[in-house]
Amino acid sequence: MAAQLYKTKSGRLFHAGAIGIVAVGVPARGKTHISRSLCRYMRWLGVSAKVFSVGNLRRAKLGSISNEYFDPSNKEAASARLEIADECLEDMITWLQDGSGQVGIYDGNNITEARRREIRDKLVANDIHPLFIESICTKPEIVLANIRSVKISSPDYIGWDPEDAVKDYTNRIEQQLANYETIEDLSFPFVKLMNVGDQLIVNNVHGYLQSRVVYYLMNLHNQPRTIYFARAGECQNPRSYKIDAELSPEGERYAERLKDFVLHHRADEAKRNKNEQQRPLTVWTSTRKKARQTALYFAQEGIPVRQHSVLNQINPGIVDGLTEAEIKAKFPEEVIRARQDPYHHRFPRAEVRRRQKSNDNGTPPKKNACNLRYFFFL
């Protein structure tokens, strides 16, 4: 993806304004997973994003509470829930209005049409573009797996017996289902996510960032996957980008050892998890010589190797071939600018991608460090 080399007058990107994403659905449908992963994706794009969790705010204010709190017939509890939900919504609106952020994600249930209309009207009144994401699950096994893997380990169930926690949370879901209304108003901009990606229904969604949200949801999954990060082997001229040098003898030895290590590791994993089907291994590499030659040992074992130019090291421009110390000595002003605006800065005659942020010392980043930032919020 091309670099975002400009900012609008408001400081926001893509001329998209402020966007309020509103989660919809009963508990254990993956709303929090979607909210957090979507926030991570927005930040990876260089967009200031933040999740505002009604559940987290409720726990911070009230601590652990009984199931009576979620009983729809308990008017006192319903009033307290609404007060906390409104406070969380106001926090998001304030954060978006004061210029701190661009995409706020409101993580709550919001299961009635009246509540969603109230939220939409508040967002529109504050010049915030609303987008509703409804998570629907019709497969009981997915809901149960979500309860067992995530919900019973939440702060609400510290010290509980797992089976008692499952029963309690299941009862909480049934209480919510009594008042649940799916989104039917076609004037709303919404996305319906069925069974964590089996089907996607999109309605009245406009704008670049909103389309990026839809794209991300189309590729969302909740199955565990293992991703290995590895550096390419040492090349014959490691400081020069222009030369695109081949692997050195030491780089060749490293590449072969890397292949042996990964294959042995996967074989051990398969033995430890005999009841789970292991996903096939695919190697992604850049189009640079040293990367392709490092992956060659995997290809010789019959493992698919895919070359992606987006994984290429960025062209460092005039600092090509220089050490970090030399860069700081020769271009001190550029180093300062890189620290001040790492997402948009580039050295003269260099390239920059939005997903690649300069190092804290102002020098060009390494590719794996940039990829790891996506997965670990660094």
Compute the distance between CA of residue 289 and CA of residue 163 in angstroms, rounded to an integer. 55
43, 377 Cβ separation under 8 angstroms: yes
SS3 labels along 321-343: CCCHHHHHHHCHHHHHHHHHCCC
343 closest CA partner among 328, 332, 329, 359: 359
Give Cβ neighbours of residue 46 (< 8 Å, ≥ 6 apart).
4, 13, 343, 354, 355
Q: Name the residue among 49, 43, 100 with its Cα closest to residue 357.
A: 43
CA distance 258 to 263: 9
- Of 71, 91, 98, 107, which residue is the catalytic one? 107
- Between CA 175 and CA 324 the distance in angstroms is 60
Kindly state the tokens that stand for 101: 């952020």
The Cα 253–Cα 244 span in angstroms is 19
Q: Specify whether 107 is catalytic.
A: yes
Q: How far apart are CA 259 and CA 282, in angstroms?
A: 12
Residues annotated catalytic, as ranges = 107
